[in-house]
Amino acid sequence: MSNSSIYGPNAWLIDEQFQQYSKDPNSVDKEWKEFFEKNGAPKQQGESAAAAPKAAAPKAAAPKSDAKATEGKPTATKQAARKTEVDSSVEQAKKAQKAPAPVAAAPKKGPQSPLDRIEPYPEFSEKPLKGMFKAIAKNMDQSLEIPTATTVRDMPVKLMWENRSMINDHLKRTRGGKISFTHILGWAIVKAVQIHPDMNIRYEVQDGKPTAVQPEHINLGLAIDLPQKDGSRALVVAAIKECENKSFNEFIDAYEDIVARSRKNKLTMDDFSGVSINLTNPGGIGTRHSIARLTKGSGSIIGVGSMDYPAEFAGASADRMADLGVGRLVTLTSTYDHRVIQGAESGEFLRTISQLIIDNKFWDELFTALGVPYQPFRWAQDVPNKGIDKNTRVMSLIEAYRSRGHLLADVNPIGWTQPGLPIPDHRDLDMETHGLTIWDLDRTFNVGGFGDKESMQLREVLSRLRSAYTLKVGTEYQHILDRDEREWLRDRLEAGMPKPTNAEQKYILQKVNAAEAFENFLQTKYVGQKRFSLEGAEALIPLMDSVIDTAAGQGLDEVVIGMPHRGRLNVLFNIVGKPLAQLFAEFDGNFKGGQAGGSGDVKYHLGAEGEHLQMFGDGEIKVTLTANPSHLEAVDPVLVGMARAKQDILDKGEEGYSVVPLMLHGDASFAGLGIIQETINISQLRGYTAGGTVHVVVNNQIGFTTTPDSSRSTYYSTDLAKGFDCPVFHVNGDDPEAVVWVGQLAAEYRRRFGKDVFIDLICYRLRGHNEADDPSMTQPVLYDKINDHRGVRESYTDDLIGRGDLSSEDAEAAARDFHDQMESVFAEVKEAEKMGPQEQEGITSSQALTRGLDTSITADELRALGQSYLDTPEGFEFHKRVGKVAQDRAKTSIEGGIDWGWGELIAFGSLANEGKLVRLAGEDSRRGTFTQRHAIAFDPNSGEEFNPLNNLAAERGNGGKFLPYNSALTEYAGMGFEYGYSLGNQDAVVVWEAQFGDFANGAQTIIDEYVSSGEAKWGQTSSLILLLPHGYEGQGPDHSSARIERFLQLCAEGSMTVAQPTTPANHFHLMRRQALGEMKRPLVVFSPKSMLRNKAAYSSIEEFTDVTSFASVINDPNLVDRDGNVIGDADKVKTIMLCSGKIYYDLEKKRAADGRDDIAIVRVEMLHPIPFNRLREAFEKFPNATQVRFVQDEPANQGSWPFYNEHLRNLIPDMPEMVRVSRRAQSSTATGISKVHQLEQKNLLDEAFDI
């Protein structure tokens, strides 16, 4: 066997290993031992064994070192990253360079002269070559048998230098490591060999015949120095095998594997065999080029010279060379076996390498392989500074990055581009678009204060711009109208993200660990249970922690969180601090949420409260997570209402918004649901602002199964936010440090400017919509990428270890400790879960009924309320129409004849005087849709506002307020906000008024999910009042009915009060009972329209001062007084008409006109809870009555009839027969034709009295 033909320059190593084997077969690696046992000694074994030198003591001056690149060590200023070096002394030298300088400055020395290195010339000597040196000499002699030729080519490396720098900057910021020039040139050689396979041919003589052998693979040999025991170094060439089948990443891994194993002397004989083409690097010590020796077994060897400026410019300054456009060159030599490779092929081969290292596609592939999210620099000719000055072009480039740099930001952790979504054109971010090239990078331009400098090299400009706008955070803020806001954001972004301390990094990792471990634990312990996991978006936990922690550091009072179901359990535990034992118990079906006896709700809808203590500060803050239904985003206005209520209780003034709403969204829901727009729209309105909400869009890049191209028409899911003048931070969910920084930045912006701020947390959803779903059925390609993607904990841990910020032992300990804690609690819960669930009993008796409450006011109080309308500020003038209203109110508060609008204000004003905060909000509620309220008066000359009832309350000094607000044109968000306000301030009187009751169905989700069932599901108590104008006056199907039937259908167990009062005074008492009573349940009032000015519906003074309570039933006042005394001939009554609302006055008018004394008209003022005891008492006053006629304006299938028809007979079994009188059943609520309405009304009344 010929060692040289197989192992080439490594033949000496075979000899050395055999010598060692001969002395002790067990002293060599197993592979070497098996090789010698199988093949016997090499041909030179005897000779080599005889010449084996005895182990010599190393020279004292010889440094201890490991393997490094051939032909010397590179200088620090040139190709440090090109070398294949594993010399521990170099590593020690690097550490020494990083060591802090001594306090005392060393004396300055001039530049060292080469002459200083001259030592005494050695004496004459002769030393026979032995061992490996003899083998090397023999190989060199044999190489003389190969007829070689060499091709030389200079290549520009400006582009490679710049792109490598960009790559390494990215790696440094992320996972660590770096790419060397040798990596890049080696890869270019591999690609060039694929284009020119003849360069991989070797020469052999087979059966006496010259033969050109084409190897089946490209095996690239790397020359490595190995340290010897005597301190000398020996050359070996190790091969990267099958390069043509590797990706660039695999090529790098194989390269680094050889280097790492050479460091540990773990290279095997397989590594030394089969080299087909060699790479050597004499450029490390500045050698321009050298003619390498080609040994047997290979067809060519490529030499890489130094990378430097042409020698002619050695004396030129850097600025001068930049101005001239002089770039570095590298000289490549191709030494080849001229027997099988020709000069032309070698020349073309080098030209191809030269083309590759400036080729766009070549660099695009490298950047893609390494996950560098930016476009590489492009090769271009230098452009002269003509036309628009280049200083102006640089400024234009800076502004382009500020406006649109987010389009280049590395914010997508899985690198997914959704087919069908618009792809933005961001060519304005390419410097080429601005007439700039790589030759301008080292030139200095005016930058107008950018980076706190007036001038800067373009290289630094681009580096700062990328750092500010295109790393893991992409920011949209240039659309903001206010200059101060833009500059505040710009300054912080361009200052760059500060590197967290090691303690902060460990804390961030702990949060990520906690998020992932929690999900993994539940997945293992509760297989198949729905939990809507956070997997893929675990960075949400450190993000929320960052926002809350910043708020705590600002000295704020509370963070109120609203969020959907995905990730909620994780947030409950890791953010709010809900006990693990309680969470695990809920997984086992043992719930404690909800009102006593209530229905409860699924575990991922429940709320909780907790406390947050700063890890790196002394601050602490309350944290509240509000309950939510499955209806995505319905919680949004509720959350903001809660925050505003809590803020109003603290009452710290306009600048003291110390309660932070933290609102979480999904990407599909944020783009798709209109309640988002409604909620953001009210964020800056004076009656609604909470000082800014921090919004976090957990961007899974998918809905349930719907992809973004089918769910939105915008590029970003958050594009809506820009329409409200708010900044948007797009952040990569795989970079917890960036996520934490953005959380801090968002909280600081909110605090400073009092506006909403949006964080687009771009991540992914590991599993389907729930844990049992398989998303690969509908998104197979996307989920192939997701399944191959490392989790955020793993990637962040690897990044920390790769950058040297954390040891693997610390990382493992953090994950293990958290899992052990959960395992312990889980065992305790399993031990304690022997108690089964209790049967639900309902919420009927969960709150005490309000009994014996006096809701009257004194005559003096009533007079004072009227007088407040005349006590105007100095110089204030009423509008001429409103002035008459003010006079009438002062007059009627003494004489009586109080109309509906005034009676309602008397209720609100008296409550404010008693110290209550009364909040009235709705569309046009300050004046009133029907010009009936005039809660606020306006001076027609100055526009000045006058709130007489609030002024009076302020004078009383009880802390009460009357605050009427006009809302935005919204029902959904408007009602949701007020419901949330009623939760946040349980003592406030919170009233939401619909413009017309018909429009309340725009808030049906709030009615269904919160108002009617919040107490039963979550134990949330609310005393919200809904005023819903209702009445059939011929105004059409959308201005007649507030849908009484729907509210009654939602009622059970006394869950809310539904009323339709018929007098201003009874309405007054109802309002005050709701505000002053102990029970906290919603009140729905079907308020009047035509009755507002019906003088028959006015109330006397005595009804406010002498009557002490709300009457749920009003008997016929012609026959029975308020105290229940019969005052007429009740025995004549044969028919009882049962009604509510406006129809009463129509019936009474006709009865009086017809002179019917056989009919009694009884009003049901409270529809639910059904006042059956009061109704029984009313019926009993008419012993001869044989029929109850239930008369209503509404069609037969609507109104209160269906509800009463089902329940009343069961509650009053012995009541007279009950029949219905109404309009016919119909799908619409009312006719829109006035004459048809008049006919229907006439027929209704005629039927009612047709007895």
- What residues act catalytically? 338
Whole-number Å distance between alpha carbons of 1160 and 1148: 9
Burial 956-969 (b: 16+ CB within 10 A, else e): eeeebbbbbbbbbe
* Contact indicator for 228, 67 with CB cutoff of 8 Å: no
Residue 602 CB burial class (10 angstroms; 0-12, 13-18, ≥19): middle
Helix (H) or strand (E) holding 906: helix 900-913
Whole-number Å distance between alpha carbons of 946 and 926: 11
DSSP for 613-633? E-SSSS-EEEEEE----SSTT
Structure tokens at 853: 């409450």
* Contact indicator for 1161, 1248 with CB cutoff of 8 Å: no
Whole-number Å distance between alpha carbons of 640 and 679: 8
Exposure on the CB side of residue 388, measured as CA atoms within 13 A: 10
DSSP 1099: B
SS (H, E, C) 570-582: HHHHHHHCCCHHH
Backbone angles phi, psi at 76, to 5 degrees: -70, -25
Identify whether 542 is preceded by a cis peptide bond (ω within 30 of 0): no
Comparing C-alpha atoms, which of 630, 683, 628, 695 is closest to residue 657?
683
Helix (H, G, I), strand (E, B) or coil at 153: strand
* Contact indicator for 531, 562 with CB cutoff of 8 Å: no
DSSP-assigned beta bridge partners for residue 205: 210
Q: In this structure, which amino acid lies at residue 920? A: L
Helix (H) or strand (E) holding 761: strand 757-762
Whole-number Å distance between alpha carbons of 908 and 885: 17
DSSP-assigned beta bridge partners for residue 337: 148
Whole-number Å distance between alpha carbons of 427 and 431: 9
Strands 620-625 and 1217-1223: unpaired
* Contact indicator for 1143, 1192 with CB cutoff of 8 Å: yes
Residue 693 CB burial class (10 angstroms; 0-12, 13-18, ≥19): buried
Structure tokens at 920: 């009235």
DSSP-assigned beta bridge partners for residue 235: 225
* Contact indicator for 534, 567 with CB cutoff of 8 Å: yes
Whole-number Å distance between alpha carbons of 756 and 662: 10
Whole-number Å distance between alpha carbons of 344 and 300: 14
Q: How many H helices and E strands in the chain?
A: 42, 33
Strands 444-446 and 455-457: antiparallel
Helix axes 248-263 and 360-369, enclosed angle (nearest 10): 60
Comparing C-alpha atoms, which of 460, 408, 409 is closest to residue 433?
408
Q: How far is CA 105 from each of CA 99, 100, 110, 112, 570, rounded to the nearest angstrom?
A: 14, 12, 15, 19, 56
Strands 558-562 and 659-666: parallel
Residue the block writes with tokens 């934490």: 740
* Contact indicator for 1217, 1208 with CB cutoff of 8 Å: no
Residue 167 CB burial class (10 angstroms; 0-12, 13-18, ≥19): buried
Whole-number Å distance between alpha carbons of 1048 and 1207: 11
